Structure 1
Amino acid sequence: MYRVSFLVLLCLFQLCAAARIELPSVIGNNMVVPQNTRIRLWGWASPSEKVFVTPSWSNRTDSAVATRDAKWELWVESPAAGGPHQVTFRGSNTIVVDNILSGAVWLCSGQSNMEWNYYNGIEGMRSEIEKGNQPQIRFFQVDRKTALHPQDDVRGKWVVCDSNTLKSFSGVGYFFGSRLHDSLHVPVGLINASWGGTPAEVWMPDTLVLKNDTWKKDLEKLSNTPYWTITPGLAFNAMIAPLTPFVLDGAIWYQGESNVGAANSYGSLFSTLINSWRKAWSKELPFYFVQIAPYTYGPHFGAALLREQQARVAATLPHTGMVVVSDLVHDTTNIHPVNKRDVGYRLAALALSDAYGKALPVTSSKTFQRAETKGNKMVVSFTGNDGKLVLKGKTPQALLIAGADGVYLPAQAKVVGNNLEVWHPQIKVPQSVRYQFSSAGVGNMVDSYGLPLAPFRTDNLEL
């Protein structure tokens, strides 16, 4: 009899436990939601259980019924920027999510240059930490994790930006978010899902990689270490897929270093990654990224080709943008440039202009447009912004010119209007020009706004 009673109690306990409504970790205290838009709220409950949801900003109660798979969701209108607010979820139990702000929400992802924080010695963080509590900026750090199949939830929680939480958060992400906050005057939520060393393949659905023969072969070129995953899809499944129901303003990305060994196919791979995220979020997600910095990868052209591929993505995919950071590098033996402030600010300029429609004097670097041979010189023209091209110093750095023999020599150059005249005394009929087209080349040409000229080459030789 005691055994029967125990079994009955156990069954009742399991039924009660199963009936409790639960929320994903990204819906929790201190979260930020996008302002003035429809946002999805979701979670789990017992099949057929009715869940009532009441946001404080509207004081209106809506309801959803859990499916037979024990999942529920509903959409509500978010308020204008501000807060704090709360949302009450009521079923067999009640959950109150408190201290919610409405504003701008961005995902930060990539590898270690996105991860790098105060503890890694980046510049400019101490003064930011001394600001103390910044309640209008919130962080959500996604734990590193892998999964063979897309997951429903991540490990993490929303925290308010203060002198302690800032220390371990992405420097690029923070400076990006702080500039948005200062410019838009709205709360900003930043979700960081990044993992040092990871190639792009791990951040997209594995089926997309494995059905492409070139990308499958490229997997053999990836650096196999015990510190990060290189298996396609594993980080996407565990760290990105669970976030896709959460409405975002956009994403920023700093990655590519780990794909230098297979640079020629990076453009198509990266474009597919961006489009896969847009499909997962069911919107043309604004997506801005950082061109990899000069670094001594070796004598090969892998890094130069990858930068070229990144530039092509920015030029062809709508609502994407690329920031050039070669001028921020002071030590090309360090793959992690310590100036993350200007990286974040440049990403923010792209977002402010493209995603939020702000009129800014400049948002991106000048890029190569066309070149033609005129006598013993090549005349190169550029597009991208209306600033004047400036050569810093008398001698151009990392600028090469070649004739028909394909032998590149250090070039001389002169800025004429928006064009660059390039020559070498030994080359009578020049054929091509390359600028910063190497692993670690750092040039000295900028525009009058102070942004560096983007790396380029005028030839299209297969390297």
Structure 2
Amino acid sequence: MLKLAGIFRDGMVLQRDRICAVFGKEDQAPEVSLILEGKKYRSDVKDGQFLIRIDPHAACTGLSMTIRGSEDIEIRDVCFGDVFYLGGQSNMELPVSRTLDVSEEEVKNSDYPYIRQYRVTPQYNMAEDEVAELPDNPWVPAVPGKIGELSATGFYCARRIYDKKKIPIGLVLGAQGGSTVESWMDVSLLSEFGNYEDLMNPFMEKDALPRYLKARDEGIAAWRSALEEPDEDKYISAIPEGASDFTVPGMLLKKDGTDHTGIVWFYKEFELLEEPGEEAFLYLGDLIDADQTFINGKAVGRTEYRYPPRKYPFDGSILRKGKNLISVRLILETGEGGFVAEHPYYLRTENEKISLTGEWKMVKGVHSDTSVPVFKMGQEVPTSLFKTSVRPLKDFTFSGIWWYQGEANSDAPSRYGEKFRAMIQFWRDLYQQNLPVIVVEMCDYTDPVTGEQPAGWASIQEQQREAENDVKDCAVVSAKDLGAPLELHPQRKSELGARMAEVAEKMFY
């Protein structure tokens, strides 16, 4: 059977003006050939693998290629342009759809069919003999209905490059929220920076990490399930007797003696002066940690973790002229949480906009004697993302790397810059390409629970600024001033993209 690596599919973007490779598996035919614009390329099959190199091609769109082995595969709508690897964590991963508070008009008017993104979703397995494969994910174009899926940082930079150069842009998104720089490094590099074996050894057997991640999901689900009450409906439709006052925005904190690990219910009564109409929208800013939200007893939204803004469009027929009630079931996983300041809190109908800041009511529900179980995420395990999201692309051709990471290393910032330098050099050696790198300096940030900047944050920023002095062909673009103090994922990614595009034009063009 002939099987192409997952990145080679309809709509793909290959690097212009350089030799490119197409690779995959074949277990029946002795050779595989590729036909592009009438020219034939071929490769012998060795140990079930093949790799075909094709000649440099100028930027273009709308090509087709045929790969022939034990069967024929046709790939349509192929582009040649500039392809960039997007590495890092959640601020690189953050989709365009999460930036609409500040960039809605820009996105609404955007239609870029030749900016396309391929997502490398990691298939975690740390066993030494396990070879990760590229997933069968689509190339998503930056067009209406799809553009919201693209990396915001990637798209806003690519859009400006395309506007000037009219060259197709491919974005290969490997970034994973919460990933550490160590997860992006080959195991051979880690011993120089400390003993990471204790962190890796539990996962080195076949399927050990997938089993661990399954146990993680089951453990968290069991902890949350224990918080459920059989008669929980009594909290949804009316404010219980004895409810206490609460001010939104506001937090329940240990230092104030108001913390509560488990369920807390929050209530807001509001009045509509007119009939609501068919469509309505609720914006509950940023909540810590997970919420289920109801209006007049009907569910309107649910978010399972703390960071996404709570934007809940809903059917306006739930509302009524006169008094209405919002009920929020909030899970506090570690005892502290609530409604984060400096975020929007409002309800909008077709005729009215109601502010939801100010006086609310609160009732503490089920209490847990323990915090949510603590597990590592796959992207926190040293070398995990290198194995799953970097090494499988070693024969793919790129123009450069865009990197936005560091938040997950702020609790242990020592030698971050050295690790980054070693990581980039290893990638360049692996890819046999001296890939230029754009590094984003993190935005300033204050933790809404502690009220302080994380201890190592400034140190990471300083080491990021030094990257262009420490790493050859590296430029640093600052996002330091682009976030609100309590916003870990700033929405001003379009401004960041403009800064990156200005640097990219000098580096790549």
Instruction: State the TM-score, normalizing by the size of structure 1.
Output: 0.67
Q: Secondary structure at the residue paired with 1:25?
A: coil
Structure 2 residue 328 is matched with structure 1 residue 350: no
1:358-437 mapped onto 2 (5 Å cutoff) = none
Query: What corresponds to 2:2 in structure 1?
Result: 21
CA contact (8 A) 1:108 1:190 kept: yes
Choose from 33, 40, 55 the match for 1:77. 55
Query: What corresponds to 2:401 in structure 1?
Result: 251
Structure 2 residue 380 is matched with structure 1 residue 230: yes
Identical-pair percentage? 25
Structure 2 residue 97 is matched with structure 1 residue 116: no
Distance 1:317 1:74 in 2: 32
Question: Could you tell me how far 1:306 is from its partner in structure 2?
Answer: 1.2
Structure 2 residue 79 is matched with structure 1 residue 101: yes
Deviations 1:243-264 (A, max 9, x none): 2211010110110011011112
Query: What corresponds to 1:33 in structure 2?
Result: 14
Distance 2:415 2:392 in 1: 28
Matched to 1:275, the amino acid is: Q
In structure 2, relative to structure 1, the CA distance for the partners of 1:325 and 1:218 (3 Å cut) is: farther
Choose from 131, 156, 160 the match for 1:179. 160
Q: Secondary structure at the residue paired with 2:413?
A: helix
Question: Could you tell me how far 1:117 is from its partner in structure 2?
Answer: 1.8
1:89-238 mapped onto 2 (5 Å cutoff) = 89-131=67-109, 133-148=111-126, 149-213=130-194, 225=375, 227=377, 229-238=379-388
Query: What corresponds to 2:460 in structure 1?
Result: 306
Matched to 1:310, the amino acid is: Q
In structure 2, relative to structure 1, the CA distance for the partners of 1:290 and 1:243 (3 Å cut) is: same
Distance 1:328 1:107 in 2: 23
In structure 2, relative to structure 1, the CA distance for the partners of 1:138 and 1:272 (3 Å cut) is: same
Instruction: Identify the structure with bigger relative contact order (alpha carbons < 8 Å, sequence gap 6+).
Output: 2
Matched to 2:504, the amino acid is: A
CA contact (8 A) 1:78 1:102 kept: no
Distance 1:34 1:317 in 2: 23
Distance 2:185 2:30 in 1: 34
In structure 2, relative to structure 1, the CA distance for the partners of 1:204 and 1:300 (3 Å cut) is: closer
Q: How many residues align?
A: 330
CA contact (8 A) 1:224 1:230 kept: no
In structure 2, relative to structure 1, the CA distance for the partners of 1:45 and 1:145 (3 Å cut) is: closer
Distance 2:54 2:9 in 1: 16
Deviations 1:17-66 (A, max 9, x none): xxx2210111110001111211111111126612121112xx11121110
Q: Secondary structure at the residue paired with 1:271?
A: helix
Q: Secondary structure at the residue paired with 2:412?
A: helix
Query: What corresponds to 1:43 in structure 2?
Result: 24
Structure 2 residue 491 is matched with structure 1 residue 338: yes
Distance 2:163 2:171 in 1: 15
Q: Secondary structure at the residue paired with 2:3?
A: coil
Question: Could you tell me how far 1:206 is from its partner in structure 2?
Answer: 2.4
Q: Tell me whether 179-188 or 115-124 shows the greater mean CA deviation.
A: 115-124
Deviations 1:141-179 (A, max 9, x none): 222432215423234221222122211221001011111
Deviations 1:287-308 (A, max 9, x none): 1111111112536751111111
Query: What corresponds to 1:269 in structure 2?
Result: 419
Instruction: Tell me the C-alpha RMSD between the 2 structures.
Output: 2.3
CA contact (8 A) 2:399 2:435 kept: yes
Matched to 1:353, the amino acid is: K
Instruction: State the TM-score, normalizing by the size of structure 2.
Output: 0.61
In structure 2, relative to structure 1, the CA distance for the partners of 1:280 and 1:211 (3 Å cut) is: same
In structure 2, relative to structure 1, the CA distance for the partners of 1:22 and 1:215 (3 Å cut) is: closer
Distance 2:19 2:96 in 1: 35
Matched to 1:351, the amino acid is: A
CA contact (8 A) 1:45 1:71 kept: yes
Distance 2:133 2:378 in 1: 22
Q: Secondary structure at the residue paired with 1:274?
A: helix
* Larger strand share, 1 or 2: 2
In structure 2, relative to structure 1, the CA distance for the partners of 1:355 and 1:150 (3 Å cut) is: farther
CA contact (8 A) 1:137 1:188 kept: yes
Question: Could you tell me how far 1:239 is from its partner in structure 2?
Answer: 1.7
Question: Could you tell me how far 1:355 is from its partner in structure 2?
Answer: 2.0
In structure 2, relative to structure 1, the CA distance for the partners of 1:245 and 1:292 (3 Å cut) is: same
In structure 2, relative to structure 1, the CA distance for the partners of 1:347 and 1:123 (3 Å cut) is: farther
Q: Secondary structure at the residue paired with 1:201?
A: helix
Name stretches of at least 5 consecutive residues in structure 2 with no aligned partner: 201-372
Name stretches of at least 5 consecutive residues in structure 1 with no aligned partner: 1-19, 357-463
1:435-446 mapped onto 2 (5 Å cutoff) = none
Distance 1:323 1:224 in 2: 34
Choose from 321, 325, 348 the match for 2:475. 321
Q: Secondary structure at the residue paired with 1:139?
A: strand
Structure 2 residue 40 is matched with structure 1 residue 61: yes
Matched to 2:485, the amino acid is: T
In structure 2, relative to structure 1, the CA distance for the partners of 1:70 and 1:244 (3 Å cut) is: same
CA contact (8 A) 1:50 1:64 kept: yes
In structure 2, relative to structure 1, the CA distance for the partners of 1:229 and 1:92 (3 Å cut) is: closer
Question: Could you tell me how far 1:353 is from its partner in structure 2?
Answer: 0.3
Question: Could you tell me how far 1:312 is from its partner in structure 2?
Answer: 1.9
Query: What corresponds to 1:397 in structure 2?
Result: none
Deviations 1:216-260 (A, max 9, x none): 7999xxx96555531111112112222221101011011001101
CA contact (8 A) 2:445 2:453 kept: no
CA contact (8 A) 1:215 1:265 kept: no
Distance 1:206 1:128 in 2: 42
CA contact (8 A) 2:399 2:436 kept: yes
Deviations 1:171-206 (A, max 9, x none): 001011111111222111111111111111111212
CA contact (8 A) 1:116 1:122 kept: no
In structure 2, relative to structure 1, the CA distance for the partners of 1:48 and 1:93 (3 Å cut) is: closer
